[in-house]
Structure 1
Amino acid sequence: MRSAGLLAWLCLAAPALAQPITLDRFGSFHVGGRQVEISGKPVIEYLPTVGGAPLRIDPNGTYVVGGMYAQFMVPAPMRGQVPLMLWHGAYLTGVTYETTPDGREGWLHFFLRRGWATYVTDAVERGRSGTAMSPDIFSPPVFLPSFNPWERFRIGDGAGSFARGTTLPGNQFPTDRESYTAFMRQVVPRYLNTDEDVIAAYIALLERVGPSAVVAHSQGGAFAWQVAQRRPDLFRALVLVEPAGTGVETDAAKLKDIPQLLIYGDYVDADPRWSVIRRNARRFSDAIRAAGGQVEDVDLPSRGIRGNSHMIMMDRNGDETAQLIQDWLAGRGLWR
C-alpha cells in the first residue's frame, strides 16, 4: 500500500520521469571539408607525454579543414516525416540542444520523444569538428569572458549586471552560480573567417541526409537562411530561433517555397543590439513575403510565454517554445 502511494506521488510530482526513449539506431559522422597546403614551417620537436619519447612533427603538407561533426538519433516509432536538424549559434556547440545548465533534458530529448529523427551538429571549428592552423588557415579565434553572455544574451539587465548579479525582470535562464558556470564550460572560441566553410559543411550534411526541417539558433539562423538560399531544395521547413543575421536580401525570392517560423523572446525590441538585429530580420522577412513566401514571426510574450533570454531552449520554460515549434511543424504536414 505504501509503495503504491509512493509510486502515485512520483507520477504526479515528478513529470520529468518520462518513459525511456527507444532508438532504432544512432551514430555520428563527419561531412564536408577541403584540402589546404601548408609549406615553409619549421619542424616541431616536443615531448608528447610524461614518460613518452620525443616526437618530431613536420607541419608542412596537406591538411583537411572545414569538416563538420554530426550526431544522429532515430527513434522508434518515427513520426516526423523528414529529418529534424538542430543548428546552434556562435561560441556554442550542439550541446545547446542536448541539456540545460541546470541539468534538465534539452530540445534533443523533446523532439526525440515526439518521434523525430534528430541531427545535432557542431559547426565547423567548434566542438568535435576539429579546427585548423591559425593564422595560416583560420584567423585567430575570439573568446568570450563570463560576463559577456550574461549581458549580451539578455540574461542580465544591461552593462555591469554580471558583476551586480542582477537579471531582467522575470528572467527564466538558470542564473544560480553553479548553473551559469556549467553554461560557461560549454562556451567555445570561434573563428571569424570560416563562414564559407560552415555553409559548405551544412550543405554537405543536407545532401547526405536529405531534405529536412531545420531548427537554427542565433548565428545558426543566419547560416540557415544563407544555406537555404543556395539549396532551397534541401529544406522542408525552417525554424529560426532569434536569428542573429539574415540571408542576402536581393535573393529573398529563393526562399519563397520554404515555410518559415521566426521566434523571439523577451526584451528584444528594448535591447540596443537585438532590436537592430530583429529589425533587419523583419525587413528580410518582408522581402521573402513580397516574393510570395510564408514567414510567421512569433513574439513569445504575446503568446503568454514570458521571461525568455536569447538562450530560449535553455530557459526554464523552454519546452513551451519547443511545443510551439512542434505544433507549427505538425501544421505544415511534417509530423503524424
Structure 2
Amino acid sequence: MSPPLALADFGSFYAGGRQVNITGLPQREIAFTQSASLNYDPNGLYHFEQAYVQYFIPAQLAQPLPIVLLHGGGMTGAMWEQTPDGRPGWLQHFLRQGHAVYVVDNVERGRAGWAPFTEVWPEPPIIRNAEESWSLFRFGRAEDYAARRAFDGLRFPLAEFDNFIRHAVPRWLGNNDAALQGFCAVLDRVGPCLVLAHSHGGEVAYRALHARPELVRGVIGIEPSGFSPDVAAASVADKPFLFVYGDYLDATPLWERLCVTGKAYADELARHGARVETWRLADMGVAGNSHMPMMDDNSGDIAARIGAWIRGAAI
C-alpha cells in the first residue's frame, strides 16, 4: 500500500466552448421527477464545446512542468484515475513523481457535457461496444471474443473487462476541430506543459502543439492514432517526443497501418529538428501490453519508465 499522497491544491475548471442560441423548436410537457412537471421550452441560450479539467498539485512539487493527460476516442479523463481492477492510475503515479497533473474531459466527453441538438452537431453519435473494444484494443482476436480467450501473455486485467467497457461514452466524429479548440483553451489556462495523449487524443495533441507551440513543450503519444497534417520546425525543433507502443501490433491490418503512419510522423518530427524516441515495449523485453498500457498489470512500471524519460529529456 502506497503512503497517502499529500496535495498542495486541487480543483477544476471549464475552458473554451461557444454560446449557441437555439430557436424554432417545439415546447413540450415534461416530468423531471415523479412529482414535478413543467412545460419545457428547449429554445434559448446554451454553452457547448467546453472542456472540463480537474487538476492536482502535489505538496512535494519536484518537476517544473505539469503533465496534461488527454484521453482517447470514446473515453474520458476517468481512464487515468484508476485501473479497472482498482490499482492506482497514471494520475496518481505522476503526482507521486512530483508533477502537477491536469486531467481533461475534452469536448463532448464526461463532465464536459454534450449538445443534444442536431442544430449544433448534425451527425448522430457513435459509442464503442464490447466486441469492438476487444479487438481494437488488442485484448484478443475478434473471433475469440465470445470465449473471452485473450492473446497469450496479455497483461490487461481481463477479469475486469466488463468493468472496463463502462468507460465507453458517446462521441461525435465531426468534432475534431472543436476538440482542438477546447484543448487549446485548456492549454491557455495551464500554461507551459507536457502533454500525454492516448490514441485519438494524439491528433488533438499534435495539432495543439502547432497551434500553441509556446505552451506545449513536449508530447508523449501512447499509441497515437492521429497526427497533425503538417509539421512546422518552429513548433517542434529541439522539443522531446516519445511514442509508446504495446504488443500484438500485427494483430489487425488497422494497427499495422497505424504503426507505419506513426513511424512516418515520428520521422517527420525528427527531420524538423525534434528529439524523438519510440518505444516498442515488446522489442524492449516488456511483452503483453495492450492498447491500454495505463491499465495493464505493469502500468506502474510503464509510468515509472515514462517519468525517467521526462527527467532525462532536458526540457
TM-score range, shorter chain: over 0.9
Aligned mates of 1:288, 1:110 — CA distance in 2 = 28
Contact 1:232 1:258 in 2 (8 A): no
Q: Which residue of 1 aligns with 2:25?
A: 41
Structure 2 counterpart SS, 1:302? helix
Change beyond 3 A, Cα 1:253–1:195: same
Contact 1:265 1:299 in 2 (8 A): yes
1:270 shift after superposition: 4.4
Q: Is 1:140 aligned with 2:121?
A: no
Aligned mates of 2:133, 2:117 — CA distance in 1 = 25
Q: Is 1:119 aligned with 2:117?
A: no
User: Greater CA deviation, 285-294 or 74-83?
Assistant: 285-294
Q: Which residue of 2 aligns with 1:56?
A: 39
Q: Which residue of 2 aligns with 1:69?
A: 52
Contact 1:25 1:74 in 2 (8 A): yes
1:251 shift after superposition: 4.2
1:207 shift after superposition: 0.8
Aligned mates of 1:318, 1:76 — CA distance in 2 = 24
The residue type paired with residue 64 of structure 1 is H
Q: Is 1:93 aligned with 2:76?
A: yes
Q: Which residue of 2 aligns with 1:29?
A: 13
User: Greater CA deviation, 30-39 or 98-107?
Assistant: 30-39
Show CA shifts across 1:88-141 (max 9, x none). Answer: 101111111100111111011111111111001111111100101232212211
Change beyond 3 A, Cα 1:252–1:187: farther
Q: Which residue of 2 aligns with 1:258?
A: 239
Query: Which structure features the higher share of helix residues?
Result: 1
1:172 shift after superposition: 0.4
Contact 2:269 2:276 in 1 (8 A): yes
Show CA shifts across 1:244-274 (max 9, x none). Answer: 1111135466323421000000011443111
Aligned mates of 1:204, 1:251 — CA distance in 2 = 21
Contact 1:259 1:293 in 2 (8 A): yes
Contact 1:99 1:105 in 2 (8 A): yes
Contact 2:48 2:115 in 1 (8 A): yes
Structure 1 counterpart SS, 2:117? coil
Contact 2:107 2:113 in 1 (8 A): yes
Structure 1 counterpart SS, 2:277? strand
The residue type paired with residue 143 of structure 1 is I
Identity %: 40
Contact 2:231 2:272 in 1 (8 A): no
Aligned mates of 1:115, 1:253 — CA distance in 2 = 29
Q: Is 1:128 aligned with 2:81?
A: no
1:38 shift after superposition: 1.8
Query: Considering only CA atoms, is the larger Rg found in Structure 1 or Structure 2?
Result: 1
Contact 1:305 1:320 in 2 (8 A): no
Selected match of 2:169 from 172, 188, 204: 188
Structure 2 counterpart SS, 1:305? coil
Selected match of 1:110 from 93, 105, 112: 93
Q: Is 1:149 aligned with 2:130?
A: no
Aligned CA RMSD, in angstroms, stands at 1.4
Structure 1: runs of 5 or more not aligned:
1-16
TM-score, normalised via structure 2 length: 0.96
Aligned mates of 2:73, 2:42 — CA distance in 1 = 29
The residue type paired with residue 262 of structure 1 is F
Q: How does 1:195-274 map to 2 (within 5 A)?
A: 195-249=176-230, 251=232, 254-274=235-255
1:236 shift after superposition: 1.5
Structure 1 counterpart SS, 2:149? coil
Aligned mates of 2:10, 2:74 — CA distance in 1 = 26
The residue type paired with residue 235 of structure 2 is K
Aligned mates of 1:289, 1:70 — CA distance in 2 = 31
User: Greater CA deviation, 307-316 or 227-236?
Assistant: 227-236
1:195 shift after superposition: 1.1
The residue type paired with residue 151 of structure 1 is S
Structure 2 counterpart SS, 1:110? helix
Aligned mates of 1:159, 1:323 — CA distance in 2 = 32
Structure 2 counterpart SS, 1:169? coil
